[in-house]
Homo-oligomer: A and B are copies of this chain.
Amino acid sequence: MGKKQENFSEWYNEIIEKADLIDKRYPIKGMDVWRPYGLSVMRAIDGAIREGMRRTDHQEVEFPLFIPQTEFNKEADQIKGFGGEVYWVTKGGESDLDIPLVVRPTSETAMYPMFSLWVRSHKHLPLKVFQIVSVFRYETKQTRSFLRVRQIHFFEAHTAHWDYEDAERQILEDLDLTAALCEKLCLPYLLSKRPDWDKFPGAHYTVAADAMLPELKTLQIATHHHYKDNFAKPYDIKYEAATGGHQYAHQTTYGISERILGAVVAVHGDDKGLMLPPAVAPYQAVVVPILFKGKEAGVVEGAKALAQKLERAGYRVHVDTRDETAGFKFNDWEMRGVPVQIQLGPRDLEKQQCVLVRRDNGDKRVVDLATADTALGEALELYASGLVSRAWETLTANIKDVKTAEEAKGVVGIARTGWCGSDECGERIQKVTEKTVLGIPVDVAFGEAFAKQAAHKLALPARGFQGACAACGKDTTTPVHIAKTY
């Protein structure tokens, strides 16, 4: 396997197949097969998202995959933004379809004709729904598993509200959910208000969460869009207000794709393989019975009893009884990123103890079988905070303050500099640096409520900036982050 620091791409492409996350050999470029282990991790991430949706009174729905061209074309920015990269169904059986069908690249244009039917009165608001489905983009750029694919495992929440302010409250709620999810995934991130030219097609504004990957490029892992009434107008989503009269609803969306699994793989892994966050690891611990010839008696049974005890305490535990050496098993589970391995040999059993080995730093602890559940809980917490602190260090250590676009060009990682806010200067910065303007940190771009979001445990705030625009030199208190992106 390639070394992660020397050749990230090679390492990444190898580990995702070796650890049985996906199989890339499906005969369509950019469409992978989800293998059981990978699907299980993705489903656990979905589960964490669903839990957040339930907590915030969102309801799960499922809309059809196809969108008639006539509906798709109603919102002009969507056509401009997606028209060039959607798949078209033009034939059913032997005959050409009267109206070609778009394979959804995202579901605004599928959902909003129905929202228009569902939302009649202020009593129907807020409307908060979500779905977890596949969406499709005809990528022309080079594809890479999880990070840039043509069939995308996708979560999308869509809401409708009385007014602008209530929709903005939704954005803040979504940012809370992103914080909770990233904490489960041990993933630190930046929150940026995307520049206007980079916001979602049709959005009023877009707030994105970006993680930093080993090549020191950033990866967008979650987006939160305020739509104002930009979609409500073409799709006629109107309600009778409590005070009488009809008003257009204000809308938001919130999206997270399988990219976030790519970030988990890329950020936490090492040369030995994956390191999965305990919250989404299919197995949080694997018990490996150590068998010596003639002394097997009771060891496998002991391992199973131990696993049962740990499962009863709420952990996901597997006993590896394969006919392989303990060394093979150890390396195998290390490669698959199991947070803690538990070794149990005949002498351990005699002494009523076992050995806990942490995946991140190899730390071994001998613990009593009687208290193994508490010890596992502690080991998982230490392991998770180990993942967090390493990732946090990488992110913060690779943000450099610079004064000019030329300087920003030389930065490996994220350059922070001033921006006067004009499109012209923004574009010049991108041209000179050959990097992307991620946008303005939300604590600077918006008011106090967003500052709290930026101060979430794993987000990175940026208030109090004083500087000058990297392009025109004007004094400004507005910083931007600039980076190479995936």
Contacts and interface: CB of A to CB of B under 8 A. Distances in A.
A59 interface: yes
Contacts of A33: 61-64, 114
Interface in A73-114: 83-94, 100-101, 103, 110, 113-114
A31 B87 contact: no
A64 B152 CA distance: 10
Interface string A32-69: 11111001100000000000000000011111111010
A140 interface: yes
A71 B138 contact: no
Given A64-B28, A114-B26, A88 B85 contact: no
Contact of A117 (B25, B39, B86): B25
A223 interface: no
Contacts of A215: none
A27 interface: yes
Contact of A114 (B23, B103, B110): B23
Among the interface residues A27, A35, A60, A136, which one has the most CB atoms of the partner chain B within 10 A? A27
Interface residues of A, number: 49
Contacts of A94: 84
A84 B93 contact: yes
A251 interface: no
How many copies make up the complex?
2
Chain A contact residues: helix, strand, loop or mixed: mixed
A95 B94 CA distance: 20
Contacts of A113: 26-27
Contacts of A63: 26, 33-34
Contacts of A110: 26
A151 interface: yes
Contacts of A129: 36
B61 A35 contact: yes
Given A89-B87, A90-B88, A93-B138, A39 B60 contact: yes
A86 B93 contact: yes
B31 A64 contact: yes
B93 A31 contact: no
A22 to B, nearest CB: 9
A65 B27 contact: no
Contacts of A353: none
Given A23-B114, A94-B84, A114-B23, A62 B39 contact: yes
Nearest to A94: B84
Contacts of A26: 63-64, 110, 113-114
A158 to B, nearest CB: 12
A90 B91 contact: yes
Contacts of A91: 87-88, 90, 100
A96 B59 CA distance: 38
A436 interface: no
- For the complex of A and B, the 8 pairs showing the least CB-CB separation, nearest first, are A92-B138, A31-B64, A88-B91, A34-B62, A36-B59, A84-B93, A90-B90, A93-B138
10 contacts: A27-B71, A31-B66, A33-B62, A65-B65, A65-B151, A87-B92, A88-B90, A88-B91, A89-B90, A90-B90
Given A27-B71, A66-B87, A93-B140, 12 more contacts: A26-B64, A26-B113, A27-B68, A31-B66, A33-B62, A39-B60, A40-B60, A65-B151, A86-B92, A88-B90, A88-B92, A90-B91
